């Protein structure tokens, strides 16, 4: 396996299933090089990897079929930072209530589909002061709830009876989808966690040029 080059400047997006292009689009908006990750070789030299939302059972099977599970774990041990959005957060959690955990790399417990069916998906806004000074728009799609966090985990966004965003030294998890909103705040936050320098001003985290379809213009290979 190729050793991680810490200053490569690129962030990968696991490209097996789910919201891949939307994340690549957001990375482009903050002038961070993004890379689709389908095979083990695509992990070489990345500073960070986003595991997108989608369907966690499907993603877990594809990770095994494509031989990426052990490769991601090995790169993580060598310093690769990870961000799991929604299904990605489920895969990274140490405990998945009532089910077997997958990577089990961050000390959180998640409860899948805790808001109900797809029809119970919703949008709202909340302030996550560590991430951005202004309220951030949040999109929850058949999301899990983070129902427990260990002592080494910092809560970034706490809602009524659950945690919506958290991190430890090397992993960020969000149960909502920043890539489906005009907010670039979490992408900037993760890029900085990876030691990179995203473009743009924290105070203007909403990109006025973003639309729900704007990622399409970047095509399948960014």
- Residue 130 beta carbon to ligand GLN: minimum distance, rounded to whole angstroms: 23
Whether the CB-CB separation of 52 and 88 falls below 8 Å is answered with yes
Query: Count of residues for the chain?
Result: 222
112 near ligand GLN (CB under 6 A): yes
- Tell me if 68 contacts ligand GLN by CB under 6 A: no
> Which residues have a Cβ under 8 Å from the Cβ of 193 and sit 6 or more positions away?
48, 81, 83, 167, 172
Task: Work out which of 33, 38, 40, 55 binds ligand GLN, going by CB under 6 A.
Answer: 55
User: Residues near 90 by Cβ (< 8 Å), separated by ≥ 6?
Assistant: 56, 84, 96, 102, 110, 112, 144
- Concerning whether 86 is annotated as a catalytic residue, the answer is yes
In terms of Cβ atoms closer than 10 Å to its own Cβ (0-12, 13-18, 19+), residue 125 is exposed
Give the bridge partners for 186, in sequence order: none
Interaction of residue 86 with ligand GLN, rule CB under 6 A: yes
Instruction: Judge whether 177 counts as a catalytic residue.
Output: yes
Q: Is 87 in the site for ligand GLN (CB under 6 A)?
A: yes
Q: How far is the CB of 119 from ligand GLN (least distance, A)?
A: 13
Interface residue with ligand GLN among 28, 40, 101, 113 (CB under 6 A) is 113
Choose which of 13, 68, 92, 141 interacts with ligand GLN (CB under 6 A): 141
Contacts of 6 (CB under 8 A, 6+ apart): 47, 79, 195
For residue 121, the minimal CB distance to ligand GLN (Å) is 8
Asked if 16 contacts 66 with a C-beta cutoff of 8 angstroms, the reply is yes
Task: Choose, by CB under 6 A, the member of 21, 36, 56, 174 that binds ligand GLN.
Answer: 56
Q: Report how far residue 177's alpha carbon sits from residue 199's, in angstroms, rounded to the nearest whole number.
A: 20
Quick note: the x/- pattern for ligand GLN over 16-35, rule CB under 6 A, is: --------------------
Closest to 142 (Cα-Cα) out of 171, 181, 177, 173: 177
From 26-34, 62-70, 85-93, 100-108, give the range in contact with ligand GLN by CB under 6 A. 85-93
The count of residues interacting with ligand GLN (CB under 6 A) is 11
Burial of 116 (0-12, 13-18, 19+ CB in 10 A): exposed
- Output 80 or 141, the one with its CB closest to ligand GLN: 141
Active site residue 124: no
Among 26, 29, 75, 142, binds ligand GLN (CB under 6 A): 142
Interface residues with ligand GLN (CB under 6 A)? 53-56, 86-87, 90, 112-113, 141-142
Catalytic positions, please? 86, 177, 179
């Amino acid at each position: 396996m190729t050793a991680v080059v810490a200053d490569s400047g690129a962030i990968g997006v696991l490209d097996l299933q789910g919201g891949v292009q939307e994340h690549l689009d957001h990375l482009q908006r903050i002038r961070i090089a993004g890379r689709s990750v389908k095979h083990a070789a695509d992990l070489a030299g990345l500073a960070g990897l986003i595991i997108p939302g989608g369907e966690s059972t499907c993603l877990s099977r594809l990770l095994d079929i494509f031989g990426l599970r052990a490769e991601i774990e090995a790169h993580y041990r060598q310093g690769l930072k990870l961000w799991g959005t929604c299904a990605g957060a489920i895969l990274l959690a140490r405990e998945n209530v009532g089910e077997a955990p997958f990577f089990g790399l961050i000390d959180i417990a998640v409860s899948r589909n805790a808001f109900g069916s797809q029809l119970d998906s919703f949008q709202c806004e909340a302030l996550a002061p560590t991430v951005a000074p202004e309220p951030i728009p949040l999109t929850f799609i058949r999301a899990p709830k983070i129902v427990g966090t260990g002592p080494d985990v910092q809560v970034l966004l706490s809602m009524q009876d659950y945690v919506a965003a958290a991190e430890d030294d090397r992993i960020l998890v969000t149960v909502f989808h920043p890539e489906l909103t005009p907010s670039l705040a979490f992408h900037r936050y993760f890029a900085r966690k990876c030691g990179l320098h995203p473009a743009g001003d924290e105070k203007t985290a909403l990109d006025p040029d973003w639309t729900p379809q704007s990622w399409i213009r970047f095509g399948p290979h960014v």
